[in-house]
Structure 1
Amino acid sequence: MKKLVLTLVMLMLGACAGVPVSTDYSQSYDFSNVSSYAWLLPPMNKKSEVDNDLIRERVINAVDMQLTAKGMKEVSAGDGPSVLLSYQLGQEDKIAIDNIGSWYTHFGYYPCYRCNPRGRHGYIGASHFYNDDLWVRNYKESTLMVDVIAPESKKLLWRGTTKRVIPTLKTPEERRLYVLETVSAILAEFPPGSAVAH
């Protein structure tokens, strides 16, 4: 069973190579001693559209799968875990404005308006951007942070973060795979120095 999980994780790592991830961690902490973990879940924000029982279950299952493949064991908080785990999830509406020169001005597709009296195109000094277009796009960006915390002091030891444009997700399975891909990309960097080269 463990080999199957590891195989699935490796396949996911190959699929999520393009997911942008940033990490920060304590350079004085010895992460090689991390062998077990317990969850320290934040209170659920009922007003947030991205914080609910379904998403929480998907995040927890994805993290558990990744850490199991790394040889770490989940225990209860009272059984002396090496570290505590938590996560933060957010979503933000974004607007992108692109200034794109009209395609026909770049390639000289205005023969009637771009000709000199002798019928030659593209006279010297002609501007190729006189008919620029502004494209406005609305999209949603998700942020997921996975935190590794010291059990006694509750100090942050490691944090992995990714921000992604949210694609159109129509089914529960598509949402599960999106979360799994995102979590896989983040935890590929944990413990520090363990990232798999792609």
Structure 2
Amino acid sequence: MKKIGLAFCVMILTACSGVPVSTDYSQDFDFSKVSSYAWLLPAKPMNTEVDNDLVRERVVDAVDAQFTAKGLARAADAAKASVLVTYQLGQEDKIAIDNFGSWHTQFGYYPCYRCGYRPGFGYFGHSQFYDNDLWVRNYKESTLMIDIIDPNTKRLLWRGITKRAMPTLETPEERRLYVLETVSAILAEFPPRLASSP
């Protein structure tokens, strides 16, 4: 029942997701024949802040739920699986600069009764607001890449990637849902829709 409920959540999240995803795949592989999968988990990461046992468990559970919803079975023996699946996680510090134009030009005055909502006054967190009306934001960009691999040749067959601004996640449940939404968005593109087209 837990897997069925998780698969249902996956379908809801996928339908509502606005997560940007890019994919690439082999055009000479018949994805319609994929019926099972096995895990080829990556080696233990050096950066445990980005990837650790807790994150790994969330990624594996989310991929399992997505594949279950697609009718794929998890094979106990990797040698008998149609494909292998693995993932990579990354995180990078980013700076965004936005030009909002002049508050004085747009309003004729500074609407200081709402200064708490103005960038640089603390409402938006890590930001600075300069006299030339540039909003400089520091944020972390997370990357999740999921690979589908041929179990016999170890050749890459399909890859899905998303890069997102990392939100503030305070609880384990928020982190689980963030991973579930991200994985669901990526695997919504698998198998390739036009893979069987000539």
TM-score by length of 2: 0.81
User: Deviation at 1:48?
Assistant: 3.8
- 1:32-181, aligned counterparts within 5 Å? 32-109=32-109, 132-181=132-181
Equivalent residues of 1:15, 1:181 under 8 A apart: no
CA distance in structure 2 between the partners assigned to 1:55 and 1:37 by the alignment? 20
CA distance in structure 1 between the partners assigned to 2:36 and 2:163 by the alignment? 27
Counterpart of 2:125 in structure 1 is none
**Cα displacement string for residues 75-110 of structure 1 (whole angstroms, at most 9, x for unaligned residues):** 134441000000000000001122232212123349
* Secondary structure at 2:167 match in 1: coil
CA distance in structure 2 between the partners assigned to 1:135 and 1:4 by the alignment? 42
User: Deviation at 1:148?
Assistant: 0.2
Counterpart of 1:115 in structure 2 is none
Counterpart of 2:190 in structure 1 is 190
User: Deviation at 1:149?
Assistant: 0.2
CA distance in structure 1 between the partners assigned to 2:63 and 2:193 by the alignment? 18
Counterpart of 1:19 in structure 2 is 19
User: Deviation at 1:4?
Assistant: 4.2
Q: Which amino acid aligns with 2:73?
A: K
Equivalent residues of 1:142, 1:165 under 8 A apart: yes
Equivalent residues of 2:78, 2:84 under 8 A apart: no
CA distance in structure 2 between the partners assigned to 1:12 and 1:51 by the alignment? 23
CA distance in structure 1 between the partners assigned to 2:5 and 2:175 by the alignment? 22
| Alignment pair present for 1:10 and 2:11 | yes
Equivalent residues of 1:46, 1:52 under 8 A apart: no
* Secondary structure at 1:13 match in 2: helix
**Larger deviation, residues 96-105 vs 179-188:** 96-105
Tell me which protein shows more helix as a share of its residues: 2
* Secondary structure at 1:141 match in 2: strand
Equivalent residues of 1:39, 1:77 under 8 A apart: no
* Secondary structure at 2:176 match in 1: helix
Cα RMSD, aligned residues only:
1.9
* Secondary structure at 2:58 match in 1: helix
User: Deviation at 1:132?
Assistant: 2.6
User: Deviation at 1:45?
Assistant: 1.1
* Identity within the alignment, %: 68
CA distance in structure 1 between the partners assigned to 2:179 and 2:5 by the alignment? 19
How many correspondences in the alignment? 173
- Structure 1 consecutive aligned stretches of length 4 or more whose deviation exceeds 6 Å: none
Cα gap change, 1:104 to 1:149, in 2 (>3 Å)? same
The structure whose Rg is larger is 1
* Secondary structure at 1:153 match in 2: coil
